[in-house]
Amino acid sequence: CPVATRNGMPALEEGDDAAPARGGSGNRGSGAAHDPPGASPPRRVTRRMELVGVPGRSLRVRMAFHRRRQHGRRLIPWFPVATAISAAVLALLLLLVLLSSLAPPLLDHPSFPFPSPSRGGRSRRHPSPPVLNGGGSSVHDLWGSKLSKHYHGCSNASSKFPTAEAVTHSNRYLMIATSGGLNQQRTGITDAVVAARILNATLVVPKLDQKSFWKDSSNFSDIFDMDWFISFLGKDVKVVKQLPRKSGKAYYNPYTMRVPRKCTPRCYQNRVLPVLLKKHVVQLTKFDYRLANKLEPDLQKLRCRVNYHALKFTDPILEMGGMLVQRMKMKSKHFIALHLRFEPDMLAFSGCYYGGGEKERKELGAIRKRWKTLHTSNPDKERRHGKCPLTPEEVGLMLRALGFGSDVHLYVASGEVYGGEETLAPLKMLFPKFYTKETLASNEELAPFSSFSSRMAALDFTVCDGSDVFVTNNNGNMARMLAGRRRYFGHKRTIRPNAKKLYSLFLNRANMSWEAFVSKVRTHQRGFMGEPNEGRPGRGEFHENPSTCICENSEAKVMTHPRRQNKGGSENGKLDPNASASQPANGHFTDEEPDWVDMDYGENIFVENGLSNGTDVDYDLFIKPEQLEFEERFSD
């Protein structure tokens, strides 16, 4: 039976629409208006039931029976049947009212600053999702994984890996110039150590990018503990602070060049080693993602030793970051850290559209004109393919659907947000306990860091690493580095949005109940929650999924793959407790090039002046120009 609305309450109609009562005028309610020509109208009783609201939520059923004269005969209703039908309809209606009260509709706040139009052209707001208090988790183990206790980081070198003293040649020096923001530079530093090992060369402490978009003048020693870095790697690679000098001058002049992206060990031996043997000092420029994913296990584990142990922030950064974590912990036992990327430049370059109408198109279009090589954007396609970052509201809805309540404390690490406070308003409404480093610390406490973007990013990195749950709306460098680090140190809960699946869900969220939305979000997020063995070994960027450096105990092996106990880390049926949890079969890895949408914000598009000596050949021939430009500008 169709349900209409009268005075704010549901009304049920059965039979002809508004048949006139006896004594009514005309034939407007007669069957002639509805029956086929020439057909004899059947005997029927038109009944109308209306539910009328009464104080105290009581319902009064008013039934008006109308008589109709057809062919001069009067129809007499069969009262017992009519009463039974009426009672059944009333019971069904009461059941529907009860169910609707138990199933609040999905929150449909418009994506600020843009209203979400309804069919009538007016924005439509639905009640908020159910509040989940007491830590905000309605799902068991939402704050952590049951399986994490069976896995641990393992990056020690094997007995077959000789020491640096045994393999390093005294007249080979490798220098690198990093590129991008802090986390992209971190990948370059990590890979530079491995490249030096491949070339059996001494590594000069890497030079940080000081000419990027951020214009940060920090040196290596301003961000990382240099002495710790050198001493920790002493057995693997010889590292020096600067080139050896004689009479105030360097022994050798650096020979500048660039290697291709995802350069393999053979690539380094074929391209760099001959130059190194002749010139003795080689400087590799724009050193980011210049080492392949496919490496032998000992080199992969060296990567992990560099990234997770040798690269340690300076004491001032660690102390301030630790203080911020402690202040969050004092407010609540658990807290979420969100890395939010929603800068105007990033949105403009991506070509994504968020419903802001002509205002948004003009603003982002003006920014987009900076890149003349960009193809015409297709916003719907980008969103369908999961290449657009979630809005702050969408992140909040995803977290609430996963079971986090409004009382959860949320730390947000972000740059400039397009739309400002208006864009953040829905997220703050969903999670009112909203904090940043600026709200947790005073200006005086942040003064030593606030003028340096890399040091501020290091503080955010430290807080995100110390959080109980880390969430991101993007797949940039910081998100990848933290995902890998949190896997290595105990598989701490790390949530990445399944953007491809969530796109259509957010698009149609106003047309489903909150329970249906919750069910679909939890289904789509399986495999994106930071559980062990979520990704295939070698899939994606190694720093995000360091499978070679994660080992599992025998209990985990039986639980995860009982039929494969003789493969990947076992001999003659015996399990190796230190075997890699996700060692790829036959050592196969995939060297997937990071997509342009995966890069982050902050790198200048120009190569450093004065470094090239005519041999700085760009081997990035198979990457689209706009992709390179985006990677250079949008890195963190």
How much of the chain exceeds pLDDT 70, in percent? Answer: 64
Both tokens of residue 411?
């730390």
Q: Where are the alpha helices (DSSP H) in 420-529?
A: 420-430, 437-440, 443-450, 453-466, 477-488, 499-507, 514-524
Q: How far apart are CA 469 and CA 141, in angstroms?
A: 11
Q: Residue 208 in 3-state DSSP?
A: coil
What pLDDT score was predicted for residue 6? 42
pLDDT higher at 372 or 167: 167
Regarding beta strands 335-340 and 69-70, do their DSSP bridges make them parallel or antiparallel, or are they unpaired?
unpaired
Q: Domains of the chain (ranges plus CATH)? A: 3-33+42-102 (no CATH), 156-313+600-633 (3.40.50)
Residue 446, C-beta contacts closer than 8 angstroms, at least 6 positions apart: 320, 437, 438, 456
φ, ψ of residue 79 in degrees (nearest 5): -60, -40
DSSP state of 211: S
495-509: average pLDDT: 93
- Does the pLDDT at position 294 exceed 90? no
Q: Give the pLDDT confidence of 107-166 residue by residue, as tens digits.
A: 444 333 333 433 333 333 433 455 444 344 445 579 998 888 899 999 999 999 999 999
**Which amino acid type is present at position 166?**
A
Both tokens of residue 584?
């790829």
* Orientation angle between helical segments 420-430 and 392-402, nearest 10 degrees: 10
Q: Residue 341 in 3-state DSSP?
A: coil
Which range, of 65-69, 85-89, 168-172, averages the lowest pLDDT?
65-69
Q: How far apart are CA 461 and CA 428, in angstroms?
A: 22
DSSP state of 548: G
- Does the pLDDT at position 185 exceed 70? yes
Which range, of 95-99, 158-162, 173-177, 337-341, averages the lowest pLDDT?
95-99
- Does the pLDDT at position 15 exceed 50? no
What pLDDT score was predicted for residue 119? 32
Q: How far apart are CA 58 and CA 44, in angstroms?
A: 31
Both tokens of residue 90?
């009333």
How much of the chain exceeds pLDDT 90, in percent? Answer: 49
What pLDDT score was predicted for residue 634? 56
Split at pLDDT 50, 70, 90, the class of 101 is: low
Report yes or no: 320 and 441 within 8 Å, Cβ to Cβ.
yes
Q: Give the pLDDT confidence of 311-322 residue by residue, as tens digits.
A: 999 999 999 999
Split at pLDDT 50, 70, 90, the class of 374 is: low
What pLDDT score was predicted for residue 109? 40
- Does the pLDDT at position 45 exceed 90? no
Split at pLDDT 50, 70, 90, the class of 25 is: very low
Q: How far apart are CA 271 and CA 264, in angstroms?
A: 10
The CB density around residue 508, as the number of other CB atoms within 10 Å, is: 12
How many alpha carbons fall within 13 Å on the CB side of residue 41? 20
Task: Output the average pLDDT for the chain.
Answer: 76
DSSP codes, 401-417 = HHT--TTSEEEEEESPP
**Which amino acid type is present at position 410?**
L
**Which amino acid type is present at position 465?**
D
Report yes or no: 395 and 434 within 8 Å, Cβ to Cβ.
no
- Does the pLDDT at position 228 exceed 80? yes
What pLDDT score was predicted for residue 384? 79
**Which amino acid type is present at position 46?**
T
- Does the pLDDT at position 621 exceed 50? no
33-54: average pLDDT: 44
Q: How far apart are CA 220 and CA 204, in angstroms?
A: 11
Q: How far apart are CA 21 and CA 61, in angstroms?
A: 18
Range among 186-200, 242-256, 356-370 with highest mean pLDDT value: 186-200
- Does the pLDDT at position 327 exceed 50? yes
Burial 68-83, CB ≥16 within 10 A → b, else e: beeeeeeeeeeeeeee
Q: How far apart are CA 121 and CA 123, in angstroms?
A: 7
Q: Residue 108 in 3-state DSSP?
A: coil
H or E segment and range at residue 298: helix 297-305
Q: Residue 485 in 3-state DSSP?
A: helix
**Which amino acid type is present at position 269?**
Q
- Does the pLDDT at position 619 exceed 50? no
Tell me the whole-structure pTM to 2 decimals: 0.72
Both tokens of residue 152?
């641990």
